[in-house]
Amino acid sequence: MSSDAPGRTPPAACRVGARMKPGQRGTLKLLRDFGSRLVCVRYRYDDAGRTRLTTVELVISEAPQKRKPFRLVRVEVRPWEISVREAVKKAGARWEPGIGLWTMRYDRAVKLGLRDRIRPSPGPKKSLSADTRMSLPAETSAPNPRKVSITGDPTRRLI
């Protein structure tokens, strides 16, 4: 690598005149040289218009991404807090109408200053699905032959 010559405009300060994908006209020689590692080719021009620089973007390594899993929390926002609601929506929160809370990432809730509005998650539902093969307890599986009257009159039943 050569050092920058005095009076030469650094590449980052030059304006980009053209950006081309591999395989387009003007990139074929570079595509032969770099192959599938070539991402794009840029032609940069200095402000005086005397120099054209050809720059390339290359893939130099590839590794699996190690993403840290994020935690979802439920946040309470009152209906009249329009600015808070808009900020929460902009942060990627989703409204859950069944429980009346917004679900969003914990780190984003903290960043917005909503730590004190975080509500506990409801526990798992106790209902059984239709395909459950478990048998129900005897007192819930058999119909109740005696109906209870709300009025107190045993002869008068409400259906």
Q: In the chain, where are the structural domains located?
A: 11-58, 72-119
pLDDT at 155 over 80: no
Indicate the pLDDT class of residue 27, thresholds 50, 70 and 90. Answer: confident
pLDDT of residue 43: 87
Indicate the pLDDT class of residue 135, thresholds 50, 70 and 90. Answer: low
DSSP characters over the chain: -PPPPTTPPPGGGSEEEEEE-TTSTT-HHHHHHHGGGEEEEEEEE-TTS--EEEEEEE--------PPP--EEEE---TT-HHHHHHHHHTT-EEETTTTEEEEEHHHHHHTT-GGGEEPPPPPP-PPPTT--PPPPHHHHS--SSPPPSSS-TT----
Residue 79 CA to residue 129 CA, distance in Å, equals 34
Q: Take residue 79 and report the two structure tokens written for it.
A: 């209906």
pLDDT at 95 over 60: yes
Residue 77 CA to residue 99 CA, distance in Å, equals 12
With 0.85 as the threshold, say if the pTM is over it: no
Looking at per-residue pLDDT, the higher value among 1 and 72 belongs to 72
Question: Strand 15-20's sheet: what is its strand order?
Answer: 15-20, 38-45, 52-58
Residue 19 CA to residue 16 CA, distance in Å, equals 7
Indicate the pLDDT class of residue 89, thresholds 50, 70 and 90. Answer: very high
pLDDT of residue 39: 92
